[in-house]
Structure 1
């Protein structure tokens, strides 16, 4: 409905939330026909990109666009969006830092990943997504990146 009455200047929130709803549908409804999944994923990207055109200062939309690319295993592209979000509002989300660090791990950038994931772990969680991201950041730091607990719990200079 919001997109149907969107003003000519656009509504970033309507596009962002439409994309979020499509993502929720894709994750929650196993009855989505397989031949519709690619079209729905394309709609997610299209609406997130439109939202960033209308409101380029919303770090959450840039984060969501990064998540889109992360879930499609396009880690180089995802990093660009997570960094863009950080550039707009540094440390706004432990989840954004976690996904940025995870991309760095996938791309073999271990020193960057350690710093980023450490900061994700040390950042205060603001919601359940941040809480899960903090836990995952700690798990990757300890298991994959072989960090010591005392090292990851020390305050960072970042």
Structure 2
């Protein structure tokens, strides 16, 4: 594995994080009933919330103020997806479960895992979601 390439891609990801939020806000403004925009904003919020202290410091040094978001922000967007389009995707339920887990709400996390399990795996995205779901269920102590 080429670690330099991974670091380069990671830096590009941090740079992208700084700009994508504005584009997602604009997409939601233009088409407020599009669940994909809320899903992507939820993913953005979750990714930003997961940045380590050092990643935030590097982003601040390179680009000024680093992006800011919380797991609660991510949860709000993933819930909006379900409000607009129930059972939107297996992966949305996986991220709902991750948010609830991170917020210490294991019961809710398990409910979201159950909801994800109820969605048939038919696409490559669903296969990836299922792998994440299996790992999440194991971490939650569900076999």
- State the TM-score, normalized to the length of structure 2: 0.74
Quote the Cα distance in structure 2 between the aligned partners of 1:33 and 1:144.
Answer: 26
Structure 1: 5+ residue runs without aligned partners?
1-27, 149-158
Give the number of the structure whose residues are more often helix, by fraction.
2
Corresponding position: 1:71 with 2:67: no
Report what 1:147 is aligned to: 142
- Counterparts of 1:33 and 1:66 in 2: how far apart (Å)? 19
Q: Which has the larger radius of gyration?
A: 1
- State how far apart, in whole Å, the 2-side matches of 1:49 and 1:135 are: 30
Q: TM-score scaled to structure 1, two decimals?
A: 0.67
CA RMSD of aligned residues (A): 2.2
How far apart, in 2, do the equivalents of 1:113 and 1:128 lie?
23
Aligned to 2:109: 113
In the other structure, the counterpart of 2:29 is: 53
Shift of 1:72: 1.0
Equivalent residue, structure 1, for 2:118: 122
- Kindly report structure 1 stretches of 4+ aligned residues shifted beyond 2 Å: 28-34, 36-40
C-alpha contact 1:97 1:120 (8 A) present in aligned 2: yes
Does residue 84 of the first structure (1) align with residue 60 of the second (2)? Answer: no
Which of structures 1 and 2 has the larger relative contact order (alpha carbons within 8 angstroms, sep 6+)? 2
Measured in 1, the distance between the counterparts of 2:16 and 2:126 equals: 26
Check whether the contact 1:118–1:137 (CA below 8 A) recurs between aligned residues.
no
Aligned to 1:97: 93
Cα deviation for residue 147 of structure 1 reads: 1.6
1:35-54 aligned within 5 A: 39-54=15-30
- When the two structures are aligned, how many residues end up with a matched partner? 119
Change (3 A) 1:39 1:118: same
Deviation at 1:135, TM superposition (A): 2.1
Unaligned runs of 5+ in 2: 50-69
- CA separation in 1, counterparts of 2:48 and 2:89? 21
